[in-house]
Amino acid sequence: MLFSCLVDADFLDTEAFYAKVEGWRIDRGGLPTLAELRKPLDAFLSGFKADSDVNRLRAEILHHICQQAVLSPGLFSLTVPTGGGKTLASLAFALDHALRYGQERIIYVIPFTSIVEQNAAAFREALGEFGKQAILEHHSAFSDEQRHDRGNRRKSWESREKLKLAMENWDAPIVVTTAVQFFESLFADRPSRCRKLHHIANSVVILDEAQILPLKLLRPCIAALDELALNYRSSIVLCTATQPALQETDDPGKSFAGGLRHVRELAPEPQRLYATLKRVSVRHVGEMNDAALADELTANQQILCIVNNRQHARTLFELIHDQPGARHLTTLMCAKHRSQILADVRQQLKDTKPCRLIATSLIEAGVDVDFPRVLRAEAGLDSIAQAAGRCNREGGWSPAASEVLIFSTSDWASPPELAQFAQVSREVLRQYPDDPLALEAIEHYFRLLYWQRDGRDSELDKYAVLKRFQDGGMDGLPFESVARDFRMIESMQQPVIIPFDQEAQDMLDALENADHIGSIARRLQPYIVQMPHEGFAALHGSGAIQPLAPERFAEQFMILMNLDLYNKYSGLYWDNPAFIKAEHLNW
């Protein structure tokens, strides 16, 4: 935290110096305060009509949660079934709570890059005229100091060079970011990642879909959250339909040793909410190969199929691409593109037109779509519950007619960790066949996953992060080694900017000649695709991606130059980085 304060002050001072000397305007400040955001949010929420049973329940949930804002800062849970309106309710709580206790900002932490832009858009709509100014989306860090200056790491610290680093400091009333960005920054050792940390202090931090934390880093993540609440005056809200049982209690049978204590529930009677908002039936249908899945997708006019890897999703889409309403959603599309596809999907569903959507788990957390039928490849029970939240979301069909069908497949192998989740889910499905998504079934699932590990507790801190800090003492804090090992995603992801539309191209043109780049870098984030290292290297080696103004920014901003590699149906494709339009698939 001290390092973060020093780094941010140094960069801001450098920026102010050059602005004064060279006469350019600093694009900072002038943002609305949290107090100014309260009135438009209240006006927006008051416009909701309690014109159905579901909407009346949502209004009740919102009212109850807002009443809890008077509770003192600390640790909270918010357990509301999917479709209960917890996204805006959590924002309303956070705003009231922050204003009451003088906290400075709200940080919304989301598991998937793919829905950062959706939640940010929902917040902007709710905040009216202040929405565009108040909300910062931070998906990824453009600045990689080690890559930015391969030959001399000190170069980045020379005064003028600081202005060429797109480093984010989270100086905004509301920040919407990813779990990877949030947690990896807390365990980082570089100015580019650490600059923002002091702005987490004295904030309300909402972890959306709090159950999606990697097992291998679960204990250090919990320790970091506990530390923020205990010593940095932050309020932490674990917001999910499937609360991940991270609490330590005095009951040894229902306690996660070393977990969070004194967590207060914000929702009214979670058990009652689950029973009232239950809208689907869930069953396992055994093994389905790709041909069987394609038949099922073809036989249903409106259906969502969620699989466990991007290549499987692409293969299935190729099998049904000629069917009416066939759509594909992947993280290989930039956020701007995904938003357009989701808008199209929602319109097709609303108009009762054919809509056959194939996606990975990116669609599960917070994406507001409403299908009558969902296929879900075997996964963790929490993922299955999230998939179920995309089925009969508004209660337009009976629960019996709204099926979530879980299937196994031998055609595509799951990653080892995902296979472990699926194995635990199968055990819970055997014990709770009638209602595998009941709160007691979810608790049993997490108990098996977290608590009953037969002495394998080290799996929850695979790299011994906590032990290294305990053993190091104040004279040997292992920042460098921990930062190297603390990776929520194993393969290094590198951002590539997609010139998807004229707006993106205009920003790239402006960036090339800009003296200070932070605001432009912020606006470019919806045009990023995060690529694994091997794909990035293939495109870089072929010249398909090239750095913007390398003499100024080195390789900080990598742009897709061969736009034939970006397909409107499937996003970025790098299997053959040299191919051209004539080699595209014919659909």
Residue pLDDT, tens place only, 5-33? 999 999 999 888 988 888 877 767 678 99
Residue in the block written with tokens 């066939």: 326
Predicted pLDDT at 371:
96
Question: Rounded to whole angstroms, how far apart are CA atoms 344 and 229?
Answer: 41
Q: How confident is the model at residue 455 (pLDDT cuts 50, 70, 90)?
A: very low
| First-to-last C-alpha distance (Å) of the chain | 52
Strand 493-497 versus strand 105-110 pairing type:
unpaired
Residue pLDDT, tens place only, 169-201? 999 999 999 899 999 999 999 898 999 999 999
Strand 545-547 versus strand 528-532 pairing type:
unpaired
> For domain 278-438, is the CATH number 3.40.50.300?
yes
Angle at 80 between CA 36 and CA 381, to 5 degrees: 135
Q: Which CATH number is associated with domain 31-140+166-277+453-490?
A: 3.40.50.300
Sequence-distant (≥ 6) Cβ neighbours of residue 432 within 8 angstroms: 438, 440, 441, 444
**pTM for the full predicted model:** 0.85
31-140+166-277+453-490 and 278-438 in the same fold: yes
And the tokens for 404? 């979530």
209 conformational bin, left if phi > 0, alpha if psi -120 to 50, beta if neither: left
Calculate mean pLDDT across residues 233-253.
88
Question: Rounded to whole angstroms, how far apart are CA atoms 527 and 517?
Answer: 16
Q: What is the DSSP letter of 412?
A: S
Residue pLDDT, tens place only, 348-403? 999 999 999 999 888 887 678 999 999 999 999 999 998 999 999 888 899 999 99
State the burial class of residue 451 (Cβ atoms within 10 Å of its Cβ: 0-12, 13-18, 19+): middle
What is the residue-wise DSSP string for 101-152? Answer: HT--EEEEEES-GGGHHHHHHHHHHHTGGGHHHHEEEE------HHHHTSS-
Q: What is the DSSP letter of 450?
A: I
| Residue among 572, 496, 506 nearest 527 (CA) | 496
Q: How confident is the model at residue 141 (pLDDT cuts 50, 70, 90)?
A: low
Q: Show me where the domains of the chain are located.
A: 31-140+166-277+453-490, 278-438, 494-583
